[in-house]
Amino acid sequence: MSDLQSRSWTWDFKNPPAAIWPLLADTARFNEAARLPRHKITEIAGPDGVVAYFGEVKIGPFEIKWQERPVNWVSEQFFEHIRDFSSGPLALLGAHLKIEGNPATGGATGTYTLSAAPRNWLGKLLLATKFFASSGETFGRMVAEADRYAAGEAPTIFSYAAPETSAETRTKIDRMVAEIEATPNGHGLARRLAEHVLTAQEVDLWHIRPLGLARDWAVPERHAIELCLQAVKAGLLELRWDILCPRCRVAKAWSGGLDRLPTGAHCSSCNIDYDRDFSKNVEASFRPAAAIRSLESGEYCMWGPMSVPHVRAQIHLKAGEVREVPGRLLPGPYRLRTLEPGPECDIQHDGLNFPTHIITADEISAGDAAQPGLLRFENRSNRPRIAIIESRHWVADCLTADRITALQAFRDLFSEDVLRPGDEVAVGRVALLFSDLKASTALYQRIGDAAAYHLVRDHFAFMADIIRHHDGAVVKTIGDAVMAAFAKPEDALQAALAIQRDLAERDAAGSDKTIIIKLGLHQGSSIAVTLNDRLDYFGSTVNMAARLQGQSVGGDIVLSQEMVDDPTVAPALTGLRPQADRAALKGFAEPLTFYRITP
């Protein structure tokens, strides 16, 4: 384009690329802080499955429309973004950011290039006057703010003017904070959450993720989750269930309750249909209650590396193109795929030279290793493709449904939030604990019915407290027995150990009201259902856990093979010497091996 104009700016950062990249590559946050207007995005799938992206916005008297080119980037190294306009003063607008480490200072150097071409006389006038100078001034200010934030010298990433809060809303907030802190779920964090809701950028409020708050605030994850759940009850937040696309990880369907949760969704960006799984792609997220702070509709940026942080590289390739770009990726599991629907290839990267990402008409494969410091892409098909390298580590801040529904605070506060009758949802993994009292009949005879009744009731409270503090939940009680669920098997084992050790200490104290508890633990896949108006689990994993409890002699813990083999459980088993046993269990065709430990 002959009339294309460009300007570049270079800055030196005190912080390394890993610290600067997440701030400057978060284009939605950057655009909001720069006070750019929201815009509407339309996604249109072509006959070949490729999706085209169109944007539009009204600025003053101008209706501006454009087509988005998918962004190219390699995480922590560069991104480039181009828009082709069909109306408005410009014909093209492009941005390119390159970040390089500076070994001499331990910081980084960033170069930002802005390119634009006029579409008409107004565009020529715009580019000839203050467009580049004004843009450079804004970028320079925000880059300096990001560097100060990364160095811990500023409380927020960018200077941002939060909307004004009325005196009436402030009074409501004060009442809500007091209400939350009056419960066991406030943890002294309610005021901090309220200020976050009132003052944070909108990009931080579309999806308030408790695990992200816990990391940023340096508090236990359970405390942040319980805080958000209680804030929903107080009217500060709203809870929603998102069904994330398994490819782009963006929510394409959602509901305000489990009883309205869709069975699946269609992702227009990836042009695929997908199902739901509590452990994989059903996320519990929060946002401000509309009466406290309403969020405007629209997008600050359709594309941006931090919108899909699991995508480590995204590169557009012409038909038949071979392209190499600078890039180094850490060791770990990765998936090679394209933005367009199609096959995928999973690899394990050793941290050395990354294999070539090869695309053919009907296959994705890993080829020979690229040269050191480069990522190599080959499009052997006869049409343009967008190559993606995706980290298989799940998004760290995603609070999946299997985890939140296995917390006692959720069960206590949202007992009515259950699946509709007849509905069932897959749960990829859940750890289940079954307990029972040993010789309960003899206990009633020894201390009397009334005393035994109160002892059993107290034992339920004692177990529920330990289960809650180990990030689990009591699903139900059955006579003298308890069924509890945990999202993590290591939490289930730690809870079981705490139960038996506490009872052993009571027994050593010589109490005549000591009880003996039998415990069985198993983990595996399950089905979430609604039974007796509560969220419950169904399947062979439940049956196995119950049968293992039957193998307990009391005072011990019986573990399945799956529990003992789990690497996250191994540290808690150190020094306990699990003893293998084998027996035929009711409902299972073959005898099964299990393990017994005595704390």
**Helices and strands: H and E segment counts in the chain:** 16, 29
pLDDT at residue 39 greater than cutoff 80: yes
DSSP state string for 403-465: HHTTSHHHHHH-TT--PPTT--EEEEEEEEEEEEETTHHHHHHHH-HHHHHHHHHHHHHHHHH
Q: What percent of the chain has pLDDT over 90?
A: 61
**CB distance 75 to 67 below 8 Å:** no
Q: How far apart are CA 99 and CA 561, in angstroms?
A: 48
Region of 332 (left: φ > 0; alpha: ψ -120 to 50; beta: rest) is left
pLDDT at 123: 92
Region of 221 (left: φ > 0; alpha: ψ -120 to 50; beta: rest) is alpha
pLDDT at 156: 84
pLDDT band at 348 (very low <50, low <70, confident <90, very high): very high
pLDDT at 60: 82
Q: What is the mean pLDDT of residues 269-291?
A: 87
Q: How far apart are CA 93 and CA 390, in angstroms?
A: 27
pLDDT band at 481 (very low <50, low <70, confident <90, very high): confident
Q: How far apart are CA 156 and CA 560, in angstroms?
A: 48
pLDDT at residue 2 greater than cutoff 80: no
557-560 and 517-531: which strand pairing?
parallel
Residue 406 neighbours by CB distance under 10 Å: 28
In the chain, how long is the greatest CA-to-CA distance? 97
Residue type, 352: L
Choice between 356 and 201, residue whose per-residue pLDDT is larger: 356
Phi/psi at 443 (5° precision): -60, -45
> What are the pLDDT digits (tens) for 46-60?
777 678 889 998 888
| Dihedral angle over CA of 392, 397, 402, 408, nearest 10 | 150
Q: How many alpha carbons fall within 13 Å on the CB side of residue 342?
A: 22
Specify the DSSP class assigned to residue 108: E
> Considering the chain, what is the average pLDDT of its residues?
89
> Which of 235, 217, 247 has its CA nearest to residue 286?
235
Q: How far apart are CA 118 and CA 125, in angstroms?
A: 9
pLDDT at 250: 79
pLDDT band at 479 (very low <50, low <70, confident <90, very high): confident
Token pair 């580049």: residue: 132
**CB distance 583 to 594 below 8 Å:** yes
pLDDT at residue 550 greater than cutoff 60: yes
Q: How far apart are CA 473 and CA 495, in angstroms?
A: 11
Q: What is the mean pLDDT of residues 361-369?
A: 94
> What are the pLDDT digits (tens) for 160-182?
778 888 999 999 999 999 999 99
Lowest mean pLDDT among 137-146, 354-363, 437-446: 437-446
Q: How far apart are CA 530 and CA 425, in angstroms?
A: 10
Q: What percent of the chain has pLDDT over 70?
A: 93
pLDDT at 460: 83
Q: What is the mean pLDDT of residues 231-253?
A: 89
Q: How far apart are CA 16 and CA 38, in angstroms?
A: 31
pLDDT band at 249 (very low <50, low <70, confident <90, very high): confident
**Strand, coil or helix: 357:** strand
The neighbouring-strand residues paired with 390 are 311, 335
DSSP state string for 264-301: EEEETTTTEEEE-BTTTTEEEEEEE-TTT-----SBS-
Q: How far apart are CA 245 and CA 78, in angstroms?
A: 25
Specify the DSSP class assigned to residue 203: G
pLDDT at residue 258 greater than cutoff 60: yes
> What are the pLDDT digits (tens) for 464-476?
999 999 999 999 9
pLDDT at residue 271 greater than cutoff 60: yes
Q: What is the mean pLDDT of residues 483-491?
A: 96
pLDDT at 298: 62
pLDDT at residue 512 greater than cutoff 60: no
Q: How many alpha carbons fall within 13 Å on the CB side of residue 242?
A: 22
pLDDT at 510: 62
Phi/psi at 396 (5° precision): -60, -30
Residue 466 neighbours by CB distance under 10 Å: 19
Q: How far apart are CA 221 and CA 212, in angstroms?
A: 9
pLDDT at residue 216 greater than cutoff 80: yes
Q: What is the mean pLDDT of residues 332-338?
A: 92
Q: What is the mean pLDDT of residues 383-390?
A: 92
> What are the pLDDT digits (tens) for 570-587?
999 998 999 999 998 888
At CA 312, angle to CA 4 and CA 330, rounded to 5? 130
Cα–Cα distances (Å) from 166 to 179, 190, 198, 237, 287, in that order, read 20, 19, 11, 18, 19
Residue type, 55: G
Q: How far apart are CA 475 and CA 460, in angstroms?
A: 12
Q: What is the mean pLDDT of residues 204-216?
A: 92
**Strand, coil or helix: 512:** coil
Residue type, 181: E
pLDDT at 394: 59
pLDDT band at 396 (very low <50, low <70, confident <90, very high): low
DSSP state string for 207-255: TB-HHHHHHHHT--HHHHHHHHHHHHHHTSEEEEEEEE-TTT--EEEEE
> What are the pLDDT digits (tens) for 94-106?
999 999 999 889 9
Which residues lie closer than 8 Å to 190 by C-beta, 6 or more apart?
Answer: 176, 177, 180, 181, 227, 230, 231
Specify the DSSP class assigned to residue 90: E
> Which of 326, 287, 387 has its CA nearest to residue 74?
326
pLDDT at 505: 82
Q: What is the mean pLDDT of residues 113-137?
A: 93
pLDDT at 449: 58
pLDDT at 252: 80
pLDDT at residue 513 greater than cutoff 60: no
> What are the pLDDT digits (tens) for 285-312?
999 999 999 887 666 666 678 888 888 9
